[in-house]
């Protein structure tokens, strides 16, 4: 559905842009369906609508250019103010005010003054880097925020953890290393989620314009099988407050080791973690980091699933 909406909005804008608005007075899903009978092509493929109702609001999509930077992540400030965090793949995070709509303002982001600079911890190359940023729902009170990034075991002390290629998932790191796709040592690169704090730089946490790049806690650390397709976005569930972690299959082009289908592998999955209730030292032995598992994760119905797995 999301894909359809994106395509639909794109198409609406296309129509508006090229002045086809006369033939389509209202840019709604129903109008679109009525006009094109559900058989419009996009990229040569037939689009079939499985739902065609009149509830889609009759609004277009208006884009306003406010800046020109190369940002991989944009995250609204959790205090609801008109500010957002912007992060680049190399590991810098900036905080900037979003100009008021329609007044022609620009982002005014001072690249020389980042909110936090993680570039000396982040392995930035090709598809590696700072991949995700998430602020705790109570950030304004507790100052907690989280970054998802890659590190290189050879270059960064503390870049370690469990290797995703292990006997639980029938993966032998030696075989993986000698296979044709293993030009890189398995688990040289890690997917890390680390917690940081905005405490201590302003009396009111919301007003903090800087955070120290020293880690409060390592939440998650997973050695990657090869060097590609590892995902890494992190988001807090707006209703449940759990941390959702998107992980790729770790393959080059295909998932040769079927990690995605393997219920014991965390690769190619969405994980759902509780970062508010930290386990005891004993509790983390079998886990991949400092978090607990929500009791209603799908493993409660399928006990073959690794408990972190949400989808
Ligand atoms: C940050 O401040 C909040 C509120 O005072 C406190 O609960 C939290 O423990 C602090 N976190 C760190 C890492 O110091
Ligand atoms: C849990 O966090 C501590 C403090 O950052 C860290 O030393 C430890 O390695 C983490 N444990 C795991 C399993 O990541
Ligand atoms: C992965 O799954 C496919 C399809 O089930 C199978 O043909 C292939 O042998 C599997 N590969 C491995 C390494 O287990």
* 55 inside domain: no
- Asked if residues 94 and 114 have their Cβ atoms less than 8 Å apart, the reply is yes
Same domain, 79 and 17: no
One domain for residues 121 and 190: yes
Q: Which residue has the least CA distance to atom 3 on ligand 3?
A: 258
Look up the CATH number of the domain holding residue 271.
2.120.10.30
Decide if 296 is inside a domain: no
Instruction: Report whether residue 257 contacts ligand 3, using a CB cutoff of 6 Å.
Output: yes
Q: Give 139 Cα–ligand 1 centroid separation in angstroms.
A: 10
Question: Is any ligand 2 atom within 6 A of the Cβ of residue 218?
Answer: yes
pLDDT tens string 143-179: 999 999 999 999 998 899 989 988 888 888 888 777 6
- Closest ligand to C-alpha of residue 254 is 3
Residue closest via CA to ligand 1's atom 6 equals 142
Q: Which atom of ligand 3 is nearest to the CA of 170?
A: 14
192 and 108 inside one domain: yes
Could you say which DSSP state residue 116 is in?
E
Pocket perturbation via mutation, ligand 2, pick of 146, 151, 162, 217 by most ligand atoms within 8 A of CB = 217
Q: Are residues 32 and 89 in the same domain?
A: no
Residue 7: what pLDDT?
Answer: 38
For 29, the domain range is: 2-40
> Is the domain of 101 the same as that of 152?
yes
Is residue 202 domain-resident? yes
Which tokens sit at 109?
């982001």
Output the CA angle 219-224-226, nearest 5 degrees. 165
- For ligand 3, atom 10, the nearest C-alpha belongs to 258
Residue from 194, 219, 282, 290 to probe ligand 2 pocket by mutation (most atoms less than 8 Å from CB): 290
Best of 139, 145, 195, 199 for a ligand 1 pocket test (most atoms within 8 Å of beta carbon)? 199
Q: Is the CB of 217 under 6 A from ligand 2?
A: yes
In a shared domain, residues 11 and 151 = no
pLDDT value at residue 30: 54
**Is 12 within the bounds of a domain?**
yes
Start-to-end Cα distance in the chain: 17
User: Scanning the structure block, which residue is given the tokens 């590696």?
Assistant: 128
For residue 100, report the distance from its CA to the centre of ligand 1, in Å: 32
- Answer whether 53's CB lies under 8 Å from 91's CB: no
- CA 145 to chain CA mean position, Å: 14
Tell me: do 7 and 131 sit in the same domain. Answer: no
Residue 120 per-residue DSSP state:
T
pLDDT of residue 31: 58
Look at ligand 3, atom 6, and give the residue with the nearest C-alpha: 258
Q: Which helix (H) or strand (E) holds 12?
A: helix 2-17
Q: Which residues line ligand 1 (CB under 6 A)?
A: 142-143, 197, 199, 216
Q: Based on the fold, state whether residues 27 and 150 are members of the same structural domain.
A: no
Nearest-CA residue for ligand 1 atom 9 is: 142
CA–CA separation, 33 and 50 (whole Å): 11
pLDDT at 9: 39
Give the tens place of pLDDT for each residue, 194-229.
999 999 888 899 999 999 999 999 999 999 987 778
From the alpha carbon of 216, which atom of ligand 1 is closest?
A: 13
Would you say residue 48 lies in a domain? Answer: no
Indicate the number of domains in the chain: 2
Q: pLDDT tens for the chain, 311 residues: list them.
A: 333 333 343 443 444 433 343 344 334 555 555 555 444 434 344 455 555 555 454 455 556 788 888 899 999 999 989 999 999 999 999 999 999 887 888 888 899 999 999 999 999 998 899 999 999 999 999 999 999 999 999 999 889 998 998 888 888 888 877 765 546 788 999 999 999 999 988 889 999 999 999 999 999 999 998 777 889 999 999 999 999 999 998 777 777 788 999 999 999 999 999 999 988 776 666 678 899 999 999 999 999 999 999 99
Q: Whose CA is nearest to atom 8 of ligand 2?
A: 218
Residue 255 CA to ligand 3 centre (angstroms) = 9
In-domain check, residue 221:
yes
Residue that the structure tokens 């209730």 belong to: 277
SS3 content of the chain, % helix, strand, coil (to 5): 15, 25, 60
Burial of 273 (0-12, 13-18, 19+ CB in 10 A): buried
> Per DSSP, what are the bridge partners of residue 93?
87, 116
Asked whether residue 135 falls in the same domain as residue 14, the answer is: no
Asked whether residue 308 is domain-assigned, the answer is: no
pLDDT attached to residue 147: 98
Which pLDDT does position 4 carry in this prediction?
A: 37
């Amino acid at each position: 559905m999301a894909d359809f909406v994106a395509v639909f909005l794109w198409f609406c804008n296309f129509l508006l842009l090229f002045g086809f608005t006369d033939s389509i007075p209202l840019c709604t899903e129903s109008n679109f369906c009525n006009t094109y009978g559900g058989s419009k092509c996009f990229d040569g493929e037939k689009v079939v609508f499985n739902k065609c109702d009149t509830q889609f609001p009759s609004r277009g999509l208006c884009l306003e250019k406010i800046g020109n930077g190369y940002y991989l992540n944009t995250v609204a400030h959790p205090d609801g103010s008109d500010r957002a965090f912007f992060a680049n793949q190399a590991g810098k995070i900036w905080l900037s005010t979003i100009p008021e709509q329609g007044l022609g303002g620009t982002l005014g982001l001072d690249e020389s003054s980042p909110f936090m600079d993680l570039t000396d911890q982040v392995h930035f190359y090709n598809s590696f880097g700072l991949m995700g940023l998430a602020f705790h729902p109570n950030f304004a009170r507790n100052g907690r925020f989280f970054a998802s990034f890659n590190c290189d075991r050879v270059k960064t002390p503390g870049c370690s953890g469990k290797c995703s290629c292990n006997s639980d998932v029938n993966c032998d790191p030696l075989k993986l290393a000698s296979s044709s796709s293993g030009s890189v040592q398995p688990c040289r690169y890690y997917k890390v989620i680390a917690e940081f704090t905005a405490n201590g730089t302003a009396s009111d946490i919301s007003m903090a314009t800087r955070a120290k790049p020293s880690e409060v806690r390592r939440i998650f650390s997973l050695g990657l099988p090869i060097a590609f397709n590892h995902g890494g976005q992190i988001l807090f569930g707006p209703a449940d407050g759990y941390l959702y972690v998107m992980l790729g299959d770790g393959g080059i082009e295909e998932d040769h080791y079927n990690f995605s289908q393997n219920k014991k592998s965390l690769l190619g999955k969405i994980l759902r973690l509780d970062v508010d209730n930290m386990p005891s030292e004993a509790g983390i032995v079998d886990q991949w980091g400092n978090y607990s598992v929500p009791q209603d994760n799908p493993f409660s119905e399928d006990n073959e699933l690794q408990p972190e797995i949400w989808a």
